[in-house]
Amino acid sequence: MNITFIGGGNMARAIIGGLVSKGFPAAAIGVVDVVPAALERLKSELGVRGYASAAEAVPYGDLVVMAVKPQQMHDAAVQLAPGLAGQLVLSIAAGTRMKDLSRWLGGHRALVRCMPNAPALIGAGVSAACAAPEVNAAQRGQAAQVLEAVGKVLWVEQEALLDPVTAVSGSGPAYVFYFIEAMQQAAIELGLSAEQARTLSLETFLGAARLAAGSDDPVSVLRQRVTSKSGTTEAALISMAADRVHDAIGRAIRAASVRGRQLGEELGKG
């Protein structure tokens, strides 16, 4: 399989690095980027082929990964369209709907849209993907191979579900960082040093996530097991319940999902 990346930013770099580390030949990867310094860095550090424009990269190979920012997708797709010859196009740009991407690509329908998240930058991401009906099983496998280079992949059958996916996993790392910030600040206010607060908060999140990932029990059961009657954990959870933290998190995720749908509508006006 030969792959062409349109855009060589952080996520593209992470995916390419993941592919190469898993044995995918760097010579089979081409990257189009309009920033010369970024392109030279990718070529020298990862050994990929580099191009200053989509036209220079023709023929694109078997798979094209659209890795530009959502605001740049329209122009990038228009430049890409003349060189397409039935390849699978995989979009990792947030908010860009397949019907709009297809239109910008001159009616091309071999499309997969996915939503990776920030931990993909260290190979620990999770991506949700949705394939157009025209995508065959082999092409789904190609898309999965690319995305699995930076973490786990799950497929959804309805594109509309990518808005809640974005709200949960795409934006989710920010929620985790926000909670860690609050824990660290509280720990410092209670007398711990900044270093101690950071270590305790981060290791607690890492350990709890690993515990949940390795258990067949629901997280609600795991929570109950560490909540002793009249103990410190119960006191904290009672306080959170009084502040309706659970409801606030739900409202926040629903707000993110609504905004994702709105962004798709706004981006599709081009």
Q: What is the pLDDT of residues 174-184, one digit of tens each?
A: 999 999 999 99
Average pLDDT of the chain to the nearest whole number: 95
User: Is the CB of residue 132 less than 8 Å from the CB of residue 108?
Assistant: no
Q: With contact defined as beta carbons under 8 Å apart, do 144 and 92 qualify?
A: no
Query: Residue 10 CB: number of other CB atoms within 10 A?
Result: 12
pLDDT of residue 117: 94
* pLDDT band, residue 269 (cuts 50/70/90): confident
Checking if the pLDDT of 270 tops 80, the result is no
The predicted pLDDT at position 33 comes to 94
pLDDT tens profile 6-58 = 999 999 999 999 999 999 999 999 999 999 998 999 999 999 999 999 999 99
Q: What confidence tier does 264 reach under pLDDT thresholds 50, 70, 90?
A: confident
Q: What is the pLDDT of residue 267?
A: 85
State the pLDDT at residue 257.
Answer: 94
151-169 tens-digit pLDDT: 999 999 999 999 999 999 9
pTM for the full predicted model: 0.90
Comma-separated ranges of CATH 1.10.3730.10 domains in the chain: 172-262
Q: How far is CA 77 from CA 39, 132, 139, 185, 199, in A?
A: 19, 17, 20, 45, 45
CATH class of the domain at 172-262: mainly alpha
Looking at the chain, which residues constitute the CATH 3.40.50.720 domain(s)? 3-159
Question: CATH 3.40.50.720: does it fit domain 3-159?
Answer: yes
Average pLDDT over every residue of 202-224: 97
Q: What is the pLDDT of residue 28?
A: 97
**Residues of the chain above pLDDT 90, percent:** 94
Look at residue 94 and tell me whether its pLDDT is greater than 90: no
**Model pLDDT for residues 113-149, shown as the tens digit of each residue:** 999 999 999 999 999 999 999 999 999 999 999 999 9
Position of tokens 């092409």?
139
**Interval 92-108 mean pLDDT:** 93
Strands, sheet with 3-6, edge to edge from the N-terminal-most edge strand:
49-51, 29-32, 3-6, 63-66, 88-91, 111-115, 125-131, 151-155
Tell me what pLDDT residue 168 has: 96
Q: Are strands 63-66 and 3-6 parallel, antiparallel or unpaired?
A: parallel
- Counting every residue, how long is the chain? 270
Q: Which residues pair with 63 in a beta bridge?
A: 3, 88
Mean pLDDT score, 221-237: 96
